[in-house]
Each structure stands twice: as structure tokens, then as C-alpha cells.
């Protein structure tokens, strides 16, 4: 029996949908489901390109054939449809997923260094890479993910690691080349899970992410309630066994990093965020204990400078946070809501921040929409656009979004 199987026997997870909201029910520990700032290469454009190069890319995750929906982004943040591209793979839907078919963060990743877009095809065990040219996707390449149900990707330098959520769970490394992804021999590592090929959403891992500088690879597990850290060798391969750390909060999901390299983890059980220092040996030091936002089922978390934004899928809200001088996190307002729900904004899931940190884009899975917000100097959000016509959550639904 694996360590995760033993842990799960005392930690059962349940989520039920009630009316328009999602209610988390805890047996011993409850659960659900970033692109993280630790993966700045995938999304942040330091040069701040303007005009025709702006785009927001959304993964449709359709079961019959996964697609990427491309939107032109105006200088005012407004979105207009600019094309749809087949990935050459199939989308996926985890068992009993309540609003988010992939139950993960980081399923769609942009690497600004190579101008490559990386997309998981969970239903066919493949990963697709495209070359991004403005609002056009070129030079498609499809490779095996090295496991079952790939659901998250992390990038650091010329390395990409894919997290497979099905079966035993695993991470698989690739080199990012001019022609796309090339498997890195000897990089495959098991996560020791006990899932079916298509996992139950509450027992799948939440995200894989590199720490800033790429010295560690981090994976969150939900039902095991752990944060697993693989120190990386100079050849781009992880150590054989991850360092297993207990999560400070219940059901760790999304990962991001502040400017000083501290790791922030969103926790779904009580909608909290914990802050850690990642040590060189893979152990974690808690810098700030779980901070609750008063909302329902926080799963996604993204950084915009000193501000952070979290998606609360249970009641379709976005929470704003501010990082202080010593890295201590606080809510930007007393009630923990940066944007209230609306009829076109149901089922908040994944988030994306533009490279200049002026705009935030939010996926609404149930509504099949994406909302765009201008980020104010005080962290406030003002809605500037809503894109419609995207695949809403049903048999599956869209998941994964990046802004380039």
C-alpha cells in the first residue's frame, strides 16, 4: 500500500453541487481542485508588447477533439474572437468533477522564451505545442505525456514538466526545442497515487510548478493533503524520491510565488492561502499560516505584482490579496470579494494575468464565458470585457487560460 493510499484511508473528500453554488463537505478532510508566478516564463512578457501581438488563449477541452480558442486583446483589455485551433488530441473529464473537468491549474502554459504554447490533452494522454505568432498558432506538435490524464504543465528555462493525474500519477520531463517538446530520458517520476486512468477529481494532484530559478519541482496532492518537492539536478532531472511535506491547510491545490520567491498555495477545504519558504533540501517552512478569505472553494491563484487573485468556484467570486513588505498576505478588502458574481460569471475557475500586470482574465466554466478586468493601483478590479461562446461545463468544459 502506497503512502498516499494509507493517508487517504483517513482523509475522504466530498463535494456536492447545491443550486448555483458548490458546497464542500468534509469527512475528515474535504477537497476539490496556475498558472503560477513561479512559471513566469510561460506568461509574462517583460517587453510588454503592444498592439497586434496581444492575445488571450483559452483551452476548450472538448472530449471529441481538444481546441485552443484565440482572442485578440485590445489595448483597453477588450477581447474579440480570432480563431480556433485543433490540438490533435482529446479533452478529458475527471470523475465527479463539479465545475472543472481537469481539476487542476496550469493545464495551458505559454513560454515566452520559446514563444511556445503547451496544452494538455487529458483524454488521449498527449501534450501539444504550438508556436505563437500574434493571434496565430503555428507548427503544431503532439507528443505522449508519459502517463495517464495529463492535467498540468510547468516550465523553467528550456525544461517543461508534465503532471499526469491518472493511475499512479507521475511527472515527465521534456526539453523545449525549436521543433517543440523532446522527452527527457530518465526524468519520469511516480507520485505513488492509486487512481484509475481517469481519476476522481478529489484524488488527483492539483498542480506541478517550478520554484523561481528552477531548482525545485513542486506537486500538490489533494486527498493526501501533501506538498511534494523534487529537488532538481543540474541535468534537469528530479531526485528519485520527492520530499513529502504535510500541507498547512486542507486540500492544497494551486501554486504561485511572490517577488521574493516565497511559495503561496491555495487550499480548497476552507478557502485559505498558506505561505512557505522552500528549502534547498525540499522541506518547507511555514511563513504564514492559512489565511481564510470567507468564500467557498478557493482553487486557483495568480500573481500580479504585489497583488494576488484567487478563484472561488463554490460561489463564483474572485478574491484579491496584497503582499506586504515582509511577505505577509492580507485581503484587499474585509469581505474577501474583489468581484461579485453575475449571471454571466458562474463557475469561476482558472485565471490569467497579462505580462504588464494591467489586466486579469477569469474563466467562468458554467457560463462558458471569460471576464476581463483592469487591475487598479490598489488592486481593485474593474470589468472591461466578457467573451462568450466558449464550451460550458457539461460532459466536459473549458479549462486553462493564458494571456500573451
65 CA to centre of own chain = 21
What whole-number distance in Å separates Cα of residue 101 and Cα of residue 200? 10
pLDDT digits (tens, 9 = 90+) for 269-309: 999 999 999 999 999 999 999 999 999 999 999 999 999 99
> Which one is predicted more confidently, 6 or 154?
154
Q: What is the pLDDT of residue 52?
A: 59
pLDDT tens digits for 357-380? 999 999 999 999 999 999 999 999
3-state helix/strand/coil string of 112-180: CCCCEEEEEECCCCEEEEEEEECCEEEEEEEEECCCCCEEEEEEECCEEEEEECCCCCEEEEEEEECCE
- The CA-based angle 316-247-197, given to 5 degrees, is 70
Question: What ranges do the domains of the chain cover?
Answer: 3-390
Cβ atoms 362, 402 nearer than 8 A: no
* Class of domain 3-390 (CATH, top level): mainly beta
Q: Which helix or strand (DSSP H or E) is residue 3 part of?
A: helix 3-8
All residues at 6 or more sequence positions from 386 whose CB lies less than 8 Å from its CB, including other chains: 344, 345, 369, 370, 371, 372
Residue 14: band (very low, low, confident or very high) from pLDDT cuts 50, 70, 90: very low
pLDDT at 326: 82
Cβ within 8 Å of residue 301, ≥6 positions away: 34, 36, 105, 254, 255, 256, 264, 265, 266, 273, 308, 309, 310, 311, 351
pTM for the whole structure: 0.88
- Pick the range with the lowest mean pLDDT from 28-37, 76-85, 132-141, 343-352: 28-37
pLDDT tens for 15-74 read 333 333 333 332 332 222 233 333 434 333 333 444 458 999 999 999 999 999 999 999
Per DSSP bridges, beta strands 243-246 and 252-257 are: unpaired
- Number of C-beta neighbours around residue 360 at 10 A: 27
Average pLDDT, the chain: 89
Mean pLDDT of 12-17: 35
Mean pLDDT score, 124-150 = 98
Q: How many helices (H) and strands (E) does the chain have?
A: 1, 31
Q: Which of 90, 165, 150 is nearest to 120 (CA)?
A: 150
The answer on pLDDT for 334 being more than 70 is: yes
CA distance 404 to 402: 7
Amino acid at each position: 500500500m502506497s503512502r498516499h493510499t494509507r493517508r487517504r484511508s483517513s482523509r475522504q473528500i466530498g463535494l456536492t453541487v447545491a443550486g448555483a453554488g458548490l458546497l464542500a463537505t468534509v469527512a475528515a478532510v474535504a477537497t476539490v481542485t496556475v498558472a503560477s508566478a513561479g512559471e513566469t516564463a510561460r506568461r509574462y512578457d517583460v517587453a510588454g508588447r503592444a498592439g497586434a501581438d496581444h492575445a488571450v488563449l483559452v483551452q476548450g477541452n472538448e472530449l471529441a477533439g481538444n481546441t485552443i480558442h484565440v482572442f485578440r486583446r485590445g489595448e483597453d483589455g477588450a477581447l474579440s474572437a480570432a480563431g480556433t485551433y485543433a490540438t490533435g488530441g482529446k479533452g478529458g473529464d475527471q470523475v465527479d468533477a463539479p465545475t472543472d473537468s481537469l481539476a487542476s491549474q496550469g493545464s495551458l502554459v505559454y513560454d515566452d522564451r520559446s514563444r511556445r504554447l503547451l496544452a494538455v490533452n487529458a483524454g488521449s494522454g498527449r501534450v501539444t505545442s504550438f508556436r505563437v505568432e500574434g493571434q496565430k498558432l503555428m507548427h503544431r506538435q503532439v507528443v505522449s505525456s508519459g502517463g495517464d490524464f495529463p492535467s498540468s504543465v510547468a516550465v523553467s528555462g528550456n525544461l517543461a514538466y508534465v503532471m499526469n493525474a491518472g493511475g499512479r500519477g507521475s511527472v515527465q520531463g521534456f526539453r523545449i526545442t525549436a521543433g517543440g517538446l523532446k522527452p527527457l530520458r530518465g526524468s519520469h517520476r511516480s507520485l505513488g497515487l492509486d487512481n484509475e486512468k481517469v481519476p476522481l477529481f478529489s484524488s488527483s494532484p492539483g498542480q506541478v510548478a517550478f520554484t523561481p530559478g528552477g531548482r525545485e519541482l513542486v506537486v500538490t496532492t489533494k486527498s493526501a493533503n501533501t506538498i511534494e518537492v523534487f529537488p532538481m539536478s543540474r541535468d534537469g532531472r528530479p531526485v528519485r524520491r520527492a520530499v513529502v511535506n504535510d500541507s498547512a491547510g486542507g486540500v492544497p491545490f494551486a501554486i504561485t510565488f511572490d517577488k521574493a520567491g516565497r511559495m503561496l498555495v491555495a487550499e480548497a477545504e476552507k478557502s485559505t492561502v498558506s505561505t512557505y519558504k522552500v528549502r534547498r533540501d525540499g522541506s518547507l517552512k511555514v511563513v504564514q499560516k492559512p489565511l481564510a478569505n470567507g468564500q467557498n472553494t478557493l482553487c486557483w491563484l495568480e500573481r500580479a505584482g504585489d497583488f494576488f487573485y484567487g478563484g472561488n468556484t463554490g460561489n463564483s467570486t474572485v478574491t484579491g490579496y496584497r503582499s506586504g513588505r515582509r511577505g505577509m498576505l492580507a485581503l484587499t478588502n474585509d469581505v474577501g470579494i474583489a468581484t461579485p458574481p453575475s449571471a454571466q460569471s458562474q463557475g469561476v475557475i482558472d485565471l490569467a494575468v497579462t505580462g504588464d500586470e494591467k489586466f486579469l482574465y477569469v474563466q467562468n466554466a458554467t457560463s462558458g464565458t471569460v471576464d476581463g478586468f483592469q487591475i487598479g493601483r490598489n488592486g481593485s478590479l474593474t470589468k472591461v470585457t466578457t467573451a462568450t461562446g466558449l464550451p460550458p461545463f457539461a460532459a466536459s468544459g473549458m479549462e486553462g487560460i493564458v494571456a500573451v
